[in-house]
Amino acid sequence: MALAIAHSRGLDGLSAPPVTVEVHLASGLPTFTLVGLPDTEVKEARDRVRAAIVNSGFDFPSKRITVNLAPADLPKESGRFDLPIALGMLAASGQIPAAALNGCEFAGELSLSGELRPIRGALAMALQTAGSGKTFILPEDSAREAALIGSENILAARSLLEVCAHISGQAMLPGPAAVDSENQPIIPDLNEVRGQSQAKRALEVAAAGGHSLLMIGPPGSGKSMLAARLPGLLPMLDGEAAKSSAAVLSLVGQFRPEAFGVRPYRQPHHTASAAALVGGGNPPRPGEISLAHHGVLFLDELPEFDRKVLETLREPLESGHIHIARAARHARFPAEFQLIAAMNPCPCGYSGHSNGKCRCTPDQIARYRGRISGPFLDRIDLLIEVPAVPVDALGGTGDGESSATVRRRVEAALACQRERQGKTNSRLTAKEVDTLCQPDEAGARLLKQASLRLDLSARAWHRILKVARTIADLAGSASLRAPHVAEAIQYRRLSGG
């Protein structure tokens, strides 16, 4: 009778609780029992581990094998437990030293040949392992991802045989390979957009304060082009923000190490369900709003989204996180995303266009716009019209400022906000708005007149002040004056219609 223990990590939302892999060998008919609330992927580890051990040149124990994944009440999923299970069996059968497993944690999926395959969630697990002081051994590709947290206790392995050689002291495993920063994704430049000076200005204001933006215009006016260029106006992520964004993407296996620090840009199709957008499933996984954490979420053809799906965005737009509750599981994911949306002015898309093609009736237009609820619309900071581009502006090369030029102004405004309140203007509370966003006498009078004329809600009132504060930051003004308030009001006028 023999017992060996290996250590690994599970995934529960964005956290990675420790999992103890206990392997017990006993006399009796050869069997392989796996307990500890494993799902189908984990149960299939029995066949993968058996083939990997044999094909790596070791003896598979012909005994009664029991593998326990503790704690028993934590659901276990994916193939990340293949490696610690195999090592536990080899240690229990005396083929590798069992004592050497104590100072390490392991995660990796095994192929039938014994090669290690990458796993999802490696960066999220490495964030938790960093505080334990143990060495974390991962597949080669996953180790490159996990090393971005800055820990020196991460080792990369290509096969089960290499890990066993390291455990036995025969050949030490190397650290992960350096990330090739030259393969960073290329973000399109703002000067490629023809005309649309007002829309570009609104995009700059949105970037400088983290504000949400809705663009209304006919097909082909450049709404999607403008949205795709917003990440290029935002500064690169660094520190905890970069780690947090990368950890969420790692949970679904969509993180690329060379894109570390680049703002995520997500564009779900309008047929996306509520679970796809906010997260869900069993076990719960992050949705598009969490995958866009510290980045941009672009919803094109906004009225085509199911109304119930859009309503699920109201809470995370305000709070910056999403709490998914199921009967047996709860998960909390970050969702500090910047919402950019686009829609046509009417069902055919040409209402108000100079070509006069629109034949939509007022009732059809009202029903089309009515697909977006007032409470949802009230949570959007900037609403602008994006008219069709004149033919004269389509020829020639790109015009206007480049993304790099605008980004310098945006970075200066964001630095001012960090120094003043430690967060972007869009995240200010009502109390902070009263303290930090008070306009001068002329600005207050103008805002009161606009509120009466446009029938603004209290939320819209506060959002105007937040946007005006951002406009003042872009202008380098410490005080909030009437011109700043006037421009902010212009970005709310569509809400009255």
Domains of the chain: 2-167 (3.30.230.10), 190-402+410-423 (3.40.50.300), 428-497 (1.10.8)
Task: Return the percentage of the chain with pLDDT > 70, whole number.
Answer: 97
* Burial class of residue 250 (count of CB atoms within 10 Å of its CB; 0-12, 13-18, 19+): buried
Tell me: pLDDT of 64 over 50: yes
- 270 vs 263, 304, 324, 375, CA distance in Å? 22, 6, 22, 20
Q: What is the pLDDT of residue 497?
A: 42
DSSP per-residue letters across 75-111 = -B-SSTTHHHHHHHHHHHTTSS-GGGGTTEEE--EEP
pLDDT average, residue stretch 159-181 = 89
Rounded to whole angstroms, the maximal C-alpha distance in the chain is 89
Q: How far apart are CA 139 and CA 122, in angstroms?
A: 9
Tell me: pLDDT of 495 over 50: no
Tell me: pLDDT of 493 over 90: no
pLDDT average, residue stretch 373-377 = 89
Q: What is the pLDDT of residue 494?
A: 60
- 185 vs 227, 251, 264, 336, 438, CA distance in Å? 16, 20, 10, 22, 41
Pull the structure tokens for residue 421: 């309140």
CA atoms within 13 A on the CB side of 387: 12
Convert the pLDDT of each residue in 234-265 to its tens digit. 999 988 899 999 999 999 989 988 889 899 99
Task: Mark out the alpha helices in 384-477 (DSSP H runs).
Answer: 403-421, 430-436, 441-454, 458-474
Q: What is the pLDDT of residue 194?
A: 84
Convert the pLDDT of each residue in 92-110 to its tens digit. 999 999 999 998 999 999 9
Q: What is the DSSP letter of 437?
A: -
Convert the pLDDT of each residue in 297-352 to its tens digit. 999 999 999 999 999 999 998 888 999 887 777 888 999 999 999 999 999 888 87
Q: What is the pLDDT of residue 398?
A: 55
User: pLDDT-derived band of residue 395, with 50, 70 and 90 as boundaries?
Assistant: low
User: Under a CB-based contact definition with an 8 Å cutoff, are residues 124 and 16 in contact?
Assistant: yes
- 197 vs 177, 211, 352, 397, 485, CA distance in Å? 45, 18, 19, 16, 19
CA torsion sign for 156, 161, 167, 169 is: negative
DSSP per-residue letters across 366-383 = HHHHTTS-HHHHHT-SEE
Among candidate residues 271, 262, 261, 257, the one with its CA nearest the CA of residue 299: 271
Q: What is the pLDDT of residue 453?
A: 87
Pull the structure tokens for residue 331: 């998960």
